[in-house]
């Protein structure tokens, strides 16, 4: 897919020391060919391995890598594939092959709700992660508010097809003789066939759909409840992730989140999703990360562009953002959560990038856009046919 890449901004290097408890994703180095959608080639040879700290991942050192960030997907696998192909990390032949070499892909959460292929997208990303690691690259996800809502049992925004997919997937894993990883990663290959079979059966069964819907709700509860198969899958991912000098989270990080501890938040959310707090007196849900308007997954402070936002309020927001970035040793933050009708953009001297463009057909059905970071420069990859031809933003200082 042809694309137009706009606006590059240099980012000063960071001197933040690495964190302990590091795990290498790759013990060997491979030459990589990093290709964008303007046919620009980036050759890196003998790259150092990607090093991950924290479980789930919190700090990542990925020297020399091209970093691609993709925003909210909300159950739309067609748009998800378009975005990944545009980023140059997914084959366009329908084989769902990793083509990103040693690139690093970060997805900003809200894969769930408002669409009918949520599990298929999760399966696709897990498959790509496995392939990426074999090539010296990596795929990371951060959980958003819709992931935490579903683990909590809040299904208000689930598409009817989403319930159907849960019912199909539960039946699929119960009948599979393979291990979990093989079963889960293969779902993206067979989900379309299951959907077609289900659609055909609807024309014959009529009122049977009511019972099937009830089964879908029960299936979703089994899959996403704390300790459930898909809740445990989500528990592999963070709510905040730092890759090199770049901070990634769904809603937005604030100073009190940093003071609480990034690894601590990630660990507590992961343990809650895995169901480790069900039989003790610990809080069932890490409130600071997952609940409330100022939690990591719900915060919209950096994404507001209300016309009545007066100058002193904007300065306050900028000051809070600067304090947060300095506290964690980052140069910029990348967030999703709030659809940007003007496309991917940055604000506050490009200390914050907002990359949720509402691409899902269940949201705005807008054309996909991707944030690309190469050698401390950020730019937007978007389709040439996109009506948004310019991105107004200030360069870093």
5's enclosing H/E stretch is strand 4-10
In tens, the pLDDT along 337-356 reads: 999 999 999 999 999 999 99
Instruction: Tell me the C-alpha distance between 94 and 314, whole Å.
Output: 45
Instruction: Tell me the C-alpha distance between 77 and 67, whole Å.
Output: 21
Question: Would 8 be classed as within a structural domain?
Answer: no
Distances (CA, A) of 351 to 37, 179, 181, 202, 283: 25, 43, 38, 50, 34
* Contact criterion met (CB below 8 Å) for 127 and 202: no
Q: What is the pLDDT of residue 286?
A: 87
In tens, the pLDDT along 264-303 reads: 999 999 999 999 865 665 557 888 999 999 999 999 999 9
Is 42 in a helix, a strand, or coil? strand
Q: Which of 128, 118, 227 is nearest to 167 (CA)?
A: 118
71: domain CATH number is: 3.60.21.10
**What angle do helix axes 180-205 and 160-175 make, rounded to 10 degrees?**
120
Query: Averaged over 290-318, what is the pLDDT?
Result: 87
How many separate domains does the chain show?
1
Check pLDDT > 90 for residue 72: yes
**380: Cα within 13 Å, side-chain hemisphere:** 28
Question: Would 186 be classed as within a structural domain?
Answer: yes
* The overall pTM is greater than 0.75: yes
Q: Which residues are catalytic?
A: 146
Range of the domain at 243: 51-394
Q: Mean pLDDT across the chain, nearest whole number?
A: 85
Within 265-383, strands assigned E span 332-335, 345-347, 352-354, 369-374, 377-382
- Per-residue pLDDT band at 384 (split at 50, 70, 90): low
Question: Would 143 be classed as within a structural domain?
Answer: yes
Question: Would 266 be classed as within a structural domain?
Answer: yes
- Per-residue pLDDT band at 207 (split at 50, 70, 90): low
Instruction: Tell me the C-alpha distance between 326 and 321, whole Å.
Output: 9
Q: What is the pLDDT of residue 7?
A: 41
Query: Averaged over 312-324, what is the pLDDT?
Result: 92
Question: Would 35 be classed as within a structural domain?
Answer: no
Query: Averaged over 223-239, what is the pLDDT?
Result: 98
Q: What is the pLDDT of residue 210?
A: 73
- Per-residue pLDDT band at 85 (split at 50, 70, 90): very high
Q: What is the pLDDT of residue 44?
A: 46
Question: Would 24 be classed as within a structural domain?
Answer: no
User: DSSP alpha helices (H): ranges in 274-395?
Assistant: 287-290, 311-328
In tens, the pLDDT along 35-49 reads: 334 344 444 458 999
Q: What is the pLDDT of residue 285?
A: 80
- Per-residue pLDDT band at 25 (split at 50, 70, 90): low
Question: Would 299 be classed as within a structural domain?
Answer: yes
* Contact criterion met (CB below 8 Å) for 26 and 133: yes
- Report the Cα–Cα distance between both ends of the chain, in Å, rounded: 33
In tens, the pLDDT along 165-205 reads: 999 999 999 999 999 999 999 999 999 999 888 777 655 45
């Amino acid at each position: 897919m042809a694309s137009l890449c706009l606006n590059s901004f240099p980012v000063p290097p960071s001197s933040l020391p690495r964190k302990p408890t590091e795990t290498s994703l790759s013990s060997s180095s491979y030459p990589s060919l990093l290709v964008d959608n303007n046919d620009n080639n980036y050759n890196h040879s003998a790259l150092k391995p990607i090093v991950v700290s924290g479980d789930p991942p919190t700090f990542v050192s990925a020297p020399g890598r091209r970093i691609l960030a993709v925003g909210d997907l909300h159950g739309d696998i067609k748009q998800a594939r378009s975005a990944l192909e545009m980023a140059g990390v997914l084959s366009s032949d329908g084989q769902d092959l990793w083509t990103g070499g040693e690139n690093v892909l970060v997805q900003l959460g809200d894969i769930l709700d408002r669409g009918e292929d949520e599990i298929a997208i999760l399966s696709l990303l897990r498959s790509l992660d496995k392939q990426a690691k074999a090539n010296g690259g990596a795929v990371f996800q951060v959980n958003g508010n819709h992931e935490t809502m579903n683990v909590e049992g809040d299904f208000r925004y689930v598409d009817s097809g989403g319930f159907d997919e849960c019912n199909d997937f539960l039946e699929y894993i119960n009948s599979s003789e393979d291990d979990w990883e093989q079963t889960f990663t293969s779902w993206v290959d067979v989900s379309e066939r299951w959907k077609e079979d289900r659609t055909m059966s609807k024309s014959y069964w009529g009122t049977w759909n009511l019972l099937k819907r009830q089964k879908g709700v029960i299936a979703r509860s089994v899959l996403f409840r704390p300790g459930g198969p898909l809740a445990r899958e989500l528990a592999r991912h963070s709510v905040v992730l730092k890759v090199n000098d770049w901070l990634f989270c769904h809603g937005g990080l604030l100073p009190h989140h940093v003071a609480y501890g990034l690894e601590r938040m990630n660990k507590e959310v992961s343990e809650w999703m895995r169901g480790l707090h069900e039989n003790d007196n610990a809080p069932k849900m890490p409130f600071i990360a997952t609940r409330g308007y100022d939690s990591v997954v719900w915060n919209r402070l950096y994404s507001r562009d209300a016309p009545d936002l007066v100058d002193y309020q904007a300065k306050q927001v900028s000051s809070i953002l600067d304090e947060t970035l300095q506290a964690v040793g980052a140069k910029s933050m990348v967030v999703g959560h709030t659809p940007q009708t003007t496309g991917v953009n940055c604000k506050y001297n490009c200390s914050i990038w907002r990359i949720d463009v509402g691409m899902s057909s269940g949201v705005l059905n807008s054309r996909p856009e991707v944030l690309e970071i190469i050698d401390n420069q950020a730019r937007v990859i978007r389709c040439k046919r996109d009506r948004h031809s310019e991105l107004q933003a200030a360069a870093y200082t």
